[in-house]
A and B are shown apart, each in its own frame.
Chain A
Amino acid sequence: MIEWLEPLQIPIIRNSLIGLMLAGGMFSLLGVVVISLNLTGLRFTLMHVGLLGAAVGISLGISPTTGAFILIIIISGLLGTIGDRLQLSVNSLSGLFMTGSLAVAFLILARSGVPAMEVFGIFAGSILFLTTVDLVVIASLGLLILSVFFFGFREIQLTLVDKDLAKSLGVPVGLIHLIIFLLLGSAVAFALKLVGALLVDSVLLLPAMAALPLTSGLKSALFLTSLFGMLSSTSGFLLALRFDLPVGASVAVSGTGILLLSLLVQRRNRK
């Protein structure tokens, strides 16, 4: 075996690669929805909510990651439910939750004596601590995302094309939004653990950003997004192994490289 690939024989390293490949291939599909519905601000909000969750978690004596995970799921469900009812855009609500979460997190840090660095640790990710249970959960979530796209393909497509038209035809737009937000919240929470908050976009957004301009239909966009996601996570991980680099940053570099290539292809196609 090639020397620099030998660490893959260690179970935790192998788990990390499998986790990243699963997330890159399946979580990235949600990026197509995020971009199409102009929800790019939402994942940023969910990261801040994760910070609050981590602060609450530590002050309650549970792990920061668990705290972040629980609060992210709750807030994403809330955002998916109340936006339409309050006739407020998700981006307005996102702003509210982002600022609010950050403010409350700092208040908790100040009052409870929780060490700030411990909370901000969730921003760094901890891919090398993935357990087999984590892998099963990531695979299950990925399969759930695939199933939602498979069974609700036309309904999702209609919602993304024109929400008002979808409503006029009787599509359960509210339910679809709620499901998508919950899946997105779960994906952000796991991506936090995989690559850290600052690099969540490398798993969730970059593959879709690279794929969307190159395709002319939703099916091909989903396929290409998944392919780019898997490619960037695998190549990023191998890059990290080869040159002894941080995994999250290497995945982000790979994703950025694929996006740049996509831009070049778009530019060539336009000529």
Chain B
Amino acid sequence: MRVNAVELKDIHAGYGFEVLKGLTLSIPSGSLFGIFGPNGAGKSTLLKVIGGLLVPDSGHLFVLERKVSSEADRYWLKRNIGYLAQIQSTNQLPITVEDTVLLGRWGRFFYGMKRPNMTDYLRVEETLALVGMVEFRKRDWRSLSGGQRQRVALARALVRDPHILLMDEPTTYLDQKAQDELIELITRLQSQLQITSIVVTHQLQSGWQFSQSWQINHGLISRCCVD
């Protein structure tokens, strides 16, 4: 029987005002799970709760069958999650593609005085190969196109060998061709690696092949009709 990677039970959460209003949801292990909704519907708040970045006001969160309630649980959660956000275009820091991806292993394989070792660099190279960016590894991240930056960011999320991959509007600000390529890449890698992947996006785009799609609005969630 397939277990649930994530279970939310009657979650209330917000930032002084309520955004998620009693949300209950089960996300099967190994699925590509889509959540749609307009801006301000509560999509990012939901991802923050699942990722341990926002403590719910009430309700229960279970991830990989572990109840997440304490600070130690949330620390464990962060170690097991990969995160892909919207494309970032304002960063002025010089950083090689290899270093960008290497940072994805922080907290799980190295931190503080424990420096990255040969295994870390080998995993970076393998993951860059997965997303088709290995030949760019010594390039400055700032010199990449939007689509290439998102591929590198996807590699950074995958390189920490996450059990769950959270993606917050990953195709926003990309041109149509880059959007299609990224959706195809995420779908292919999810099928290949079988990582539970949760995508939130404000509009339903063609190309996604979700196991389940749900719609969120005003902090409440309902099954979407387009599976």
Contact = CB atoms under 8 A, between A and B. Distances in A.
Contacts of B92: 35-36, 38, 212
A217 B96 contact: yes
Nearest to A211: B94
A213 to B, nearest CB: 8
B151 to A, nearest CB: 16
Contact of B75 (A35, A170, A221): A170
Interface stretch (B6-14, B76-84, B185-193, B206-214): B76-84
Given A155-B111, A161-B103, A216-B96, A170 B85 contact: no
A171 B110 CA distance: 12
A79 to B, nearest CB: 20
Interface residues of A, number: 29
B53 A167 contact: yes
A154 B111 contact: yes
A161 B91 CA distance: 6
A99 interface: no
Interface string A229-248: 00000000000000000000
B85 A164 contact: yes
Contacts of A167: 53
B95 A170 contact: no
B93 A170 contact: no
Contacts of A165: 83, 85, 103, 156
B52 to A, nearest CB: 8
Interface string A138-163: 00000000000001101101101110
A82 interface: no
Given A167-B53, A168-B78, A216-B140, A151 B94 contact: no
Interface in B189-221: none
Given A168-B53, A169-B78, A170-B107, A218 B99 contact: yes
B129 to A, nearest CB: 21
B225 interface: no
Nearest to A212: B94
B51 A168 contact: yes
B14 to A, nearest CB: 13
B53 A162 contact: no
A38 B111 CA distance: 26
Contacts of A266: none
Among B15, B51, B107, B160, the most chain A Cβ lie within 10 Å of the Cβ of B107
A220 interface: yes
Contacts of A160: 91, 93
9 contacts: A152-B112, A154-B111, A155-B106, A158-B106, A160-B93, A216-B96, A216-B138, A217-B140, A220-B94
Given A151-B113, A154-B110, A171-B106, 15 more contacts: A38-B92, A154-B116, A155-B112, A157-B103, A161-B93, A164-B85, A165-B156, A168-B83, A212-B92, A213-B94, A216-B96, A216-B138, A216-B140, A217-B95, A217-B140
Interface of A: 32, 35-36, 38, 87, 151-152, 154-155, 157-158, 160-162, 164-165, 167-171, 212-213, 215-218, 220-221
